[in-house]
Homo-oligomer: A and B are copies of this chain.
């Protein structure tokens, strides 16, 4: 899977990034920490300092946390521990990418036409159920009961909580109760750190230790580590970003009405394959494929960016006389 580079000067609503860069004073705090480190020496072998800070933020132990060069670095580690993965579809395309790359059988479990989550499938010991919650790109969310029923049956579950900050729904505390639960998280979205590449996995100590045993050392460089640790000290900023994004999303959803799918994240689906026509107007949204080929994914940006999108999109829609496919 290849991303295209993005020309600058555009309204960039195509990658589910935060529209807000880290404030200068927090960058400077991170830089001061960087300059106190030896860049010529290997980092902590398994990112112990960062793991401890993340664990503290969750009320868990360092032994429950594994860190990676973005959550994409941890995904294949988890997927390749199984022979087959069941994945609620449509969803984040990297699950399929890594499964196919590593010869792990990939079984889609289709959402309803309204993108609701069906009951989990029956699984065996070599199987993993992947639940992206809330789900990318539909913006809808599996009920907690669905995940719990899978866990209760003994199904191995990878819960991708990349966007949980926006929904406010997490099951991370359940790793203490369920050794068959792994929760994947990222600093790329609500933490405004897509360029810094830090992600982490939370699991029971036994499961985390099993994942660690499969990892090469030094997953997170000293610079990114300093940024992640600084941002963990400034979670008030994350809260502000999330509040802003959620308010903007609600405003946009209200304006769009039936043209969009209600979301619990920092993005939503709209009717129509609008990528090309919006790009002509300098607005980038995400093109989708398969069952979503007649829809587009729009990341919530800053207010002026959102307004630019709304104006252009609604004009295109009215020009199309409402002939847009949808969910």
A229 within 8 A of B: no
Chain B positions within 8 Å of A35 at CB level: 24, 27, 31
A18-51 interface bits toward B, Cβ cutoff 8 Å, 1 = contact, 0 = none: 1111101001000100110111111111101000
Q: Which of A59-67, A68-76, A254-262, A289-297 contacts B (4 or more CB under 8 A)?
A: A68-76
The answer, among B27, B70, B216, for a CB contact under 8 Å with A72, is B216
Is A223 close to B, CB under 8 A? Answer: yes
**Does A94 belong to the interface (CB within 8 Å)?**
yes
CB distance from A9 to the nearest CB of B (A): 13
Interface 9-residue window, one of A163-171, A190-198, A242-250, A310-318 = A190-198
B4 touches A221 (CB 8 A): no
Query: Which residues of B are found within 8 Å of A80, using beta-carbon distances?
Result: 102
Q: A42-B15, A45-B5 are in contact. Are A37 and B218 (CB under 8 A)?
A: no
Contact of A97 with B216 in the complex, beta carbons under 8 Å: yes
| Chain B hits for A216, CB < 8 A | 1, 72-73, 94, 97-98
A219 contacts the other chain (CB 8 A): yes
A192 CB contacts on chain B under 8 angstroms: 39-40
Among B1, B2, B15, B217, point to the contact of A3 (Cβ < 8 A). B217
CB-based contact A196/B222 at 8 Å: yes
Chain B residue numbers with a CB within 8 Å of A102 are 80, 102
With A40-B19, A42-B195 already in contact, the answer to whether A48 and B214 are too (CB < 8 A) is no
Note all chain B residues with C-beta closer than 8 A to A195. Answer: 37-43, 221-223
Asked if A12 is at the interface of the complex by the 8 Å CB criterion, the answer is yes
Chain B residue nearest in CB terms to A212? B2
A194, chain B: closest CB distance, angstroms: 5
Name the residue of chain B whose CB is nearest to the CB of A226.
B223
Closest to A26 in B: B39
**Contact of B21 with A194 in the complex, beta carbons under 8 Å:** no
- With A39-B193, A73-B69 in contact, is A45–B3 under 8 Å at CB? yes
Q: Does A304 contact B (CB under 8 A)?
A: no
A224 to B39: give the CA distance in the assembly, Å.
Answer: 10
A17 within 8 A of partner (CB): yes
The answer to whether B44 touches A21 (Cβ under 8 A) is no
Residues of B within 8 A of A39 (CB): 21-22, 27, 192-196, 227
A217 and B2 within 8 A (CB): yes
Q: Which of B2, B20, B31, B221 interacts with A45 by CB under 8 Å? A: B2
Point out the residue from B20, B24, B217, B220 that lies within 8 Å of A1, measured CB to CB: B217
* 15 CB < 8 A contacts A-B: A3-B42, A5-B44, A5-B48, A22-B40, A39-B227, A41-B194, A43-B197, A72-B216, A94-B216, A97-B216, A102-B102, A195-B221, A196-B223, A221-B224, A224-B224
What 4 additional pairs, Cβ within 8 angstroms, besides A15-B42, A39-B196, A43-B195?
Answer: A19-B40, A39-B193, A40-B192, A43-B197
